[in-house]
Structure 1
Amino acid sequence: MKGYNRPLLLIAVILFIDQVSKFWVKLNMTIGQDFNIIGNKFLIHFIENNGMAYGMEFGGEFGKLFLTLFRIVAVIGIGYGLHYMVKNKYHRGFILNVALIFAGALGNIIDSTFYGTIFSESTFYEKAVLFPEGGGYSSLFHGKVVDMLYFPLIEGNFPDWFPIWGGEHFLFFRPVFNIADSAISVGVFLILIFQKRYFKEEHEEKESVNSEVLED
């Protein structure tokens, strides 16, 4: 179990922070409400989405159900892959990055699967209630994902000479996301950045094992 300690601890920490932040937002904020954290450059801005990470949508009730079930299958696959990597002693950094992706995917699955049954609906005028008497705002697998992290760092207008968007308003960074989305993005980014290191060491270890077998 020694190799599992760090990945499991990382997953537990990400899930805890993700779900605590979402519960707090659901129970204390209305849709569209803002809390300024660092001026107008970092805000807690409450929105919900029916689709994928960073507020992207995947159409209709059937699309929502399909996406939730797909997420569940995907996270089972990632979980099995993580177990395989730990068992076969893959690079620790690679394992931790996959654990980040797993934790993020699982965090959003919890929203999609259960939030519709345990919360009343959040509106522009009313905060949600946990375990409402009349039941939740939706059925199992049809919950909405809670997003709240918003970084509108740069806002302005493109100069008139700028191709296509000349004179139009722009905002960077526009997406609103959550801790789970962040964990997925960080995990993928680190794998892309350090993939040569991760797989080079793994390749060298396999070559070493193979040479030992041949010598025997």
Structure 2
Amino acid sequence: MSLKKAYLLVILVLIADQISKIYVKTHFIYGEIDQINVASWFKLLLIENEGMAWGVEIPGTYGKLILTLFRLVAVSGIAWWLWDSVKKQSSNFLIVAVALILAGAFGNIIDSVFYGVIFDHSHGQVATLFTDQPYGTWFHGKVVDMLYFPIWEGNLPSWLGGKRFTFFNAIFNLADMAICVGVGILIVFNKRAFETPELEKQA
């Protein structure tokens, strides 16, 4: 796969990710369930992630800034990995996987860097894009999540505690999906993804 095609994949994922996030931010109120029920097992629900995956946060005044700067360094490394993989004519499995991971990581970085200064808050109101009363500052934006798949909801058996349980209760976005698909390709197609590049075979 050429570098141009790899970048095109990254750009398409980024566009889809940002369109979905901006739409949800400007049409949904934070945490209001059942705003759109695509199906009984698929709903759109706006939440905002303060930190890393699964809502983990780095404590302290500069925790969010440190996290965002770390993401910027990480995405720079992933971008170099993509460029190097194309240059070495690595497997398309590897190039597509790295491109998806790069797109996903960059998509969430956009939220962290810019959303705090271009949106107002979504609590009890629909957020305004390019507001004059932003909810945060540069590098302190919140990552927007909206995809919710409560495939099964019910009470667990008594021998498992009998508590109310939802599977699958994580809420995520298209950028997260791109990262997961990319990592999944690397795991499932590991041998084909990391086979000897064509340039090394010809040497």
Shorter-chain TM-score: what band? over 0.9
1:135-174 matched pairs, under 5 angstroms? 136-162=134-160, 166-174=161-169
Larger radius of gyration: 1
- Deviation by residue 1:119-171 (Cα, 9 ceiling, x = unmatched): 11111x2111111224x111100000000000011112221223xxx212211
Shift of 1:204: 8.0
Per residue, is there more helix in 1 or in 2?
A: 1
Residue 72 (structure 1) aligns with: 72
* Aligned twin of 2:37: 36
Once residues 140 and 121 of structure 2 are traced to their aligned partners in structure 1, the CA distance between those partners, rounded to angstroms, is 12
Structure 1 alignment gaps of length 5 or more: 211-216
Q: Where does structure 2 lack aligned partners over 5 or more consecutive residues?
A: none
Deviation at 1:205, TM superposition (A): 6.4
- Cα offset for 1:74? 0.2
1:185 aligns to 2:186 (yes or no): no
**Superposed displacement of residue 60, structure 1:** 4.1
Q: Residue 202 of structure 2: which of 200, 209, 212 is its match?
A: 209
- 2:3 is aligned to 4
> Percentage identity across aligned positions?
48
Shift of 1:71: 0.3
Which residue of structure 2 aligns with residue 49 of structure 1? 49
Query: Per-residue deviation at 1:43?
Result: 0.3
**What amino acid maps onto 1:171 in structure 2?**
T
Residue 197 (1) aligns with residue 195 (2): no
CA deviations on 1:42-81 (whole Å, 9 max, x unpaired) are 0000001111234333334421111111000000010011
CA distance in 1, matches of 2:73, 2:94: 21
| Residue aligning to 2:127 | 128
Q: Deviations over 1:162-209 (max 9, x none)?
A: 3xxx21221110110000000000100111000112223x16863x43
Q: Which amino acid letter does the alignment assign opposite residue 15 of structure 2? A: F
Distance 1:197 1:168, change over 3 A: same
Check if 1:176 corresponds to 2:171: yes
Moved over 2 A (4+): 53-61, 203-206
Give the CA RMSD over aligned residues.
1.7
* Secondary structure of the corresponding residue to residue 47 of structure 1: strand
Distance 1:102 1:26, change over 3 A: same
SS at match of 2:154: strand
What is the number of residues matched between the two proteins? 201
Distance 1:74 1:204 in 2: 27
Cα distance change of structure 1 residues 88 and 170 upon mapping to structure 2, 3 Å threshold: same
Alpha-carbon distance in 2 for matches of 1:91, 1:20: 30
